[in-house]
Amino acid sequence: MQEDMRLSVFAEKKDKQLIYYPEKCIGCGTCVQACPKGNLTVGAVGAITRGLLDADFLEIKEREACLVCGICAKVCPTGALEMKQEGKTLTDMSYLSRAMKPTSVNESCVHCGLCEDICPQGCIEVTREISADGKLKLVGKTNIDTECCVHCGWCAEVCPVNAISVEKPFEGRWTRDENICQTCHTCVEVCPANAIFNKKAKPGERVEKISHRPDACIYCGACAIACPVDAIDVRKTAILPDMEKKGVLEKKLLEAPVQPAQLRTYLETDEAACLGCGNCVIVCPVNALSDRELAAGHLNNMDEKALLGVKNGRISVIDQDRCGADGTCALICPVDAIRLVKREVE
């Protein structure tokens, strides 16, 4: 329940408060797009999702500069941002998370459990047992935690009796540049809706690097925020729920590019622990984008790397500002000789 969630008071003005619930945030940056003062920042979504950085997806730059206008809370699809006035939560239909119909299950449900198995957020719990009336059927309950539901639609799609109803937050357009994508899988892990995946290839078969499930996508933009090489573009083309004052929010969001992620980390290395194996240099998507030979594992064929290099048998960070904060280097290092450290938002 929301009462048990950790919260942060982002800003206060007179009798109003802007509250942030990190556990509900999916790192999509929709609020960053909408903020009229440009006072919110999102970044390091990949590293945080992968458990490599102890931080929240979203931060406020200057609390005093916040207007506490609530536009960020109005566009948040998960209710991670909330407005309070005189201590009471504002819940009118001008807030997307409130206007969106909650995911629900009707009496046709047979409690088969497919929805529970497929839910990417683990929001569904099904309890069932064999009926005691002599009939060949299951009885039980299907409970959907609407506080953590991201409205992806997986549950409704797999339900064999069409017992589940889901309303999506946005329509949109998702594109990826095959030539830029380095298959680092950051987008796959970040996506809250399991809408991005890797196809399994047969021997000798060539498949696209990353594939997209349009029917599952909520066009939030978290994948584009997290991509360390900016290979993904997500555009919202419609706000689907019937909201009050929707036109104002549409002007802010529709066809707008995802805001660039702010670099909120720096790479810290342990030269004493480093083996000089070069695995981090090869898998770094920023490095790989700079030269195909490096991406293919030809570590010693290049003198100049974009971000990471091995010098005198030890890891070297060449340009901190080019890091995409995805954490792929830290994941592959066998001795924890490279890690991401949080830097203060400027």
Q: Give pLDDT tens digits for 284-316.
A: 999 999 887 776 666 666 567 889 988 888 898
Q: Is there a single domain that holds both residue 81 and residue 110?
A: no
- The answer to the question of residue 82 being in a domain is yes
**Contacting residues for 191 by C-beta, under 8 A, at least 6 apart:** 120, 222, 223
pLDDT at site 182: 93
Q: Is there a single domain that holds both residue 324 and residue 276?
A: yes
Q: Is there a single domain that holds both residue 15 and residue 74?
A: yes
Beta strand ranges found along the chain (DSSP E): 8-13, 16-20, 40-42, 58-60, 81-85, 88-89, 104-105, 124-130, 138-144, 164-165, 170-176, 196-197, 211-212, 232-239, 265-269, 308-311, 314-317, 338-342
Domain residues for the domain of 282 are 265-342
Q: H/E element holding 74?
A: helix 71-75
Count: domains in the chain: 3
- The answer to the question of residue 225 being in a domain is no
The reported pTM is 0.91
Half-sphere exposure of 319 (CA within 13 A, CB side): 11
Question: Do residues 40 and 58 touch, judged by C-beta distance below 8 A?
Answer: yes
Burial (CB count <10 Å: 0-12, 13-18, 19+), residue 336: exposed
CATH of the domain at 304: 3.30.70.20
CATH of the domain at 112: 3.30.70
- The answer to the question of residue 237 being in a domain is no
What confidence tens digit (pLDDT) does each residue in 63-83 have? 999 999 999 999 999 999 999
**Contacting residues for 194 by C-beta, under 8 A, at least 6 apart:** 120, 152, 154, 213, 216
The amino acid occupying position 290 is S
Question: Do residues 115 and 49 touch, judged by C-beta distance below 8 A?
Answer: no
Q: What is the pLDDT along the chain (346 residues), one digit of tens a residue?
A: 455 778 889 999 999 999 999 999 999 999 999 999 999 999 999 999 999 999 999 999 999 999 999 999 999 999 999 999 999 999 899 999 999 999 999 999 999 999 999 999 999 999 998 888 888 888 899 999 999 999 999 999 999 999 999 999 999 999 999 999 999 999 999 999 999 999 888 888 888 899 999 999 999 999 999 999 999 999 999 999 999 999 999 999 999 999 889 899 999 999 999 999 889 998 999 999 988 777 666 666 656 788 998 888 889 899 999 999 999 999 999 999 999 999 876 6
Q: Among residues 38, 71, 99, which one ends one of the domains?
A: 99
Please report, for residues 81, 205, 211, 213, 228, the alpha-carbon distance to residue 199 in angstroms, rounded to integers and kept in the order given. Answer: 35, 11, 7, 11, 21
Average pLDDT, the chain: 92
- The answer to the question of residue 226 being in a domain is no
Instruction: Measure the CA–CA gap between 273 and 337, rounded to whole angstroms.
Output: 6
- The answer to the question of residue 85 being in a domain is yes
- The answer to the question of residue 224 being in a domain is no
Q: Closest Cα to residue 65, out of 6, 125, 11?
A: 11
Please report, for residues 170, 281, 294, 319, the alpha-carbon distance to residue 285 in angstroms, rounded to integers and kept in the order given. Answer: 30, 9, 10, 14
